[in-house]
Amino acid sequence: MTREEVISRLYDRYIRPTEDKKDSFIGVEIEMPIVNMNGEAVDFDTVHLLTAAFLREFDFTATSFDEEGHIYSAVNSENGDVFSYDCSYNNMEFSFGKEKNLLTIHDRFKTYYGFVQEFFRKYNYTLTGMGINPNRGVNHNLPIENGRYKMLFNHLSSFSKYFYIPMFFHRYPQFGMFSSASQVQLDVTRERLPEVVDTFNKLEPIKALIFSNSVLLGENEDLLCCRDMLWENSTHGVNQHNVGMYDCDINSVEDLLSYISTASIYCVEREGKYLNFPPVNILEYFTLDSLTGEYTENGKAYQMKFSPQPEDISYLRTFKFEDLTYRGTIEFRSSCCQPIGDVMTVAAFHLGLMDRTDRLKKLIEADNSIYHNGYNAAELRHQLVHRDLPKYVDPDGVYDLARKVLELSFEGLAQRGQGEEKYLEPLFERVKNRTNPAKTMLDRLKNGEGIYSIVKSYAEA
């Protein structure tokens, strides 16, 4: 394909779905670690028993099976909710069908969550609201046995092959099996795309202050949201335009489309097999006659030569904090899983700000507590995911800014008239106390409290 043809296909996939948007729906995805409270690895047989019981209780239909016949994804045909395991059987996910308000979603979450917790209690297991599984060191951090997850693990495990790239790679290719996120998708119109992406991108440093909840206990406890590092310093980050934040201004749809065209593709499917290969810029990819990909079968790696096809555009996958999807939504994906009692805070925060982006932009532009100090928003995010604020930052000023942002979100939710603003109450408390779930956990550990006591409290709905 020519460059113009690729750009046209990218437009059709990512921009066109935002044209003529009339309704505004909410999509919420909540990943949670499964924790064996005995301090031992999760027994996957117990997980499979839970899956069978859940499907019977809620009339979900199995949609995906691993190579041993175990169910790892199921859907409710009435409301579109999906029950699944993300990357491994150590990480459960509820993805809710699109709705108009958060209270409906929260009610369904509490019903599903309550059933799972009651089942797990018999085995001394629990779900909990942490961004990193506290038992990651003892769990079986193995990918679900299917083509896609094995391909993903192979891709992430291939970091040693990139010796020619001057970047730091961490040593956790299995991070998807012990990290959990809270994500929300919101409908957006073509006209508002640039403003929403650009403004929320610049907001990421403040979100780090409020939502950080991913600590590698015993290793780097200064990093309160190691989630950023795990993605950016993996093979996903070989091309930094596939991950993290935008390091440029997005002022138009053309800017956004140009940025998407700088992303890289790293996998395709051929003959029923998922192939991974070194990331290639999507425009360059379609100039190649052939590539060689790798897949695994029965524990062995095999290579397959293939040629690019126009349909491969569907395999382009980015992991931006503000990610434009093919559904005509923006997926906000930078937030860690939150304590279960605060489970709707991430969705509420973003929803309340969606119609306040003009005022949010002015708040950021007027701030001098962190902004306008010689650092761009991406650099500020990297600084504010640490336990201590940089010395140049005025704590009073930055937390006052965070409070003003929350007030904007509260105002936006209140105007919707559905009572969703109540979900922001825990965030106001965090800002008042200048803390977040990661800081709170570390403080409690420092005071002598055991990790499983904290796990239990972070699991309370």
CA Rg, the chain, in Å? 22
For each of the domains in the chain, give its residue range(s) and CATH number, in order of start.
3-458 (3.30.590.20)
pLDDT score of 411 more than 90: yes
Q: What is the predicted pLDDT for the residue at 339? A: 98
Q: How many residues does the chain have?
A: 461
- Given a contact cutoff of 8 angstroms between Cβ atoms, the answer to whether 270 and 286 are in contact is no
pLDDT score of 424 more than 90: yes
pLDDT score of 25 more than 90: yes
pLDDT score of 165 more than 90: no
pTM of the prediction? 0.97
In the chain, pLDDT over 90 holds for what percent of residues? 96
Give the span between the Cα atoms of 129 and 115, in whole angstroms: 16
Q: What is the predicted pLDDT for the residue at 262? A: 98
User: What does each C-alpha distance from 92 to 35, 46, 112, 347 come to in angstroms?
Assistant: 11, 13, 12, 18
Give the span between the Cα atoms of 25 and 313, in whole angstroms: 26
Q: What is the predicted pLDDT for the residue at 131? A: 98
Query: Which of 85, 13, 3 has its CA nearest to residue 317?
Result: 13
Q: What is the predicted pLDDT for the residue at 164? A: 80
381: left (phi over 0), alpha (psi -120 to 50) or beta: alpha
| 142-152 pLDDT, tens digit each | 999 999 999 99
